[in-house]
Amino acid sequence: MRKVAVIGVGLHRYGKWDNITSYSLAKEAIDGALETAGLEWNQIQSGWCGHTGLGITAGARIFMRYGKTGLSITNVENASASGSYAFRGAYLEVALGEFDIALALGIDKRHKSLFKNPRNPNKFRRPSPIIQKFAQDARKHMEKYGTTVDQLAMVSVKNHYNGSLNPYAQFQEEITIEDVHNAPMMDNPLTILHCTSTSDGAAACILASEDMVKKLGISKPVWISASVSKSEFDPKQDSRDITAVTAREAYKKAGIEPSDLGLVELHDAFTIEEISVSELLGLCPIGEGGKLLEEGATAINGRIPINTSGGLLAMGHPIGPTGIGQVSEVYWQMRGEAGKRQIPNPPKYALTQMIGFGGTCLIHIFSR
């Protein structure tokens, strides 16, 4: 397989954009990616569109408004991981030599029927099954490992601080531990501020082969070192967690260890996820994710920064774009272009992890 790099990214700020069309959201993201890469639309050979609620042929309807150039078009739906899998599809096409330049777009508008927004508790009388599931996970983790409600709250505080530094984040205000504790309760111990918010948004990445990177004279490309996808194992026959298994294979493919990572963007739809996923990725021993956070290791200036973008908790979770938004953060951080939230020493290796509702996990590892 050929080496592949990310050479351009673009985003439309996540938020509640009732009066902005899906095409306008996508256009801002695509225009940003094209500008970053220094390309014109007619140079894109393949377009992938990850979305969950825009209907059939969403990618074609968006891309063709840019101009009918004969490019290959593929639509992807895989819940929260839709954008991540669109990115993987684009990566594999270029890596296998079918195309030299591909674009991956994530785009969505809010799902009023499918996802009940945790940040709007008045819209339903009892917690959704998803909230109940993660509240139960939090209680089990607290009982088994001594994780505290303060440590859970620290995830939200950290990520909202990071979001306050990110012009693309839905929530750009800092919060305190007391704010998290005093917010309306969803399902003990999770208050509203332990939960992500669905939103509208778009994110785009342009990928290119190594030869094309050289031909275009791209400076500071961000290379894709591994792309690994797994689904859940049968709990009656196999107790392994898909994130842990996916991570181990990704580390092997990239030729690195967890300790080599300088940045992680992970699925933190609920605060307990950041704590448990950091353990499953091997960033700390199982049961010590809360301690890792409390020690400051996961802060922007810490040993292993996690969710410098603000994560799903503060950046927002528009579903389709979320995974590609993670890649955009990695791109900016590795190039030293993340502004006020820039990691002091741009990471040499970074990882993105995304879970898709229904039991899929996708991990990418990047290098510079």
3-state secondary structure 232-287: CCCCCCCCCCHHHHHHHHHHHHHCCCHHHCCEEECCCCEHHHHHHHHHHCCCCCCC
DSSP 3-state percent helix, strand, coil across the chain (nearest 5): 40, 20, 40
Classify residue 132 by its DSSP letter. Answer: H
Sheet of 4-15, strands arranged across: 72-76, 46-50, 101-108, 200-209, 4-15, 222-231, 360-367, 349-356, 263-265
CATH value of 121-197+227-367 in 1.25.40.10, 3.40.47.10, 3.30.470.20, 3.40.50.11540: 3.40.47.10
Looking at domain 4-112+199-223, its CATH class is alpha beta
Residue type, position 324, single letter = I
Q: How many Å apart are CA 79 and CA 61, to the nearest integer?
A: 20
pLDDT tens for each residue of 153-167? 999 999 999 999 999
Q: Which of 67, 11, 69, 75 has the alpha carbon at shortest distance from 49?
A: 75
| Positions of the chain with pLDDT under 70 | 111-126, 238-239
Which tokens is 88 given? 């993987």
- And the tokens for 27? 């256009």
Taking a C-beta distance cutoff of 8 angstroms, is the pair 266, 273 a contact?
yes
Structure confidence at residue 126 (pLDDT):
64
* In the chain, domain spans: 4-112+199-223, 121-197+227-367
Angle at the Cα of 303 from the Cα atoms of 299 and 307, rounded to 5 degrees: 40
Task: Give the pLDDT score at 111.
Answer: 62
pLDDT digits (tens, 9 = 90+) for 285-334: 999 999 999 999 999 999 999 999 999 999 999 999 999 999 999 999 99
Nearest to 91 by CA among 182, 4, 25, 173: 4
Q: Please indicate whether the domains covering 4-112+199-223 and 121-197+227-367 agree at the CATH topology level.
A: yes
CA 324 and chain centroid, separation: 6
Q: What is this structure's pTM? A: 0.95
- Say if residues 72 and 35 touch (Cβ distance below 8 Å): no
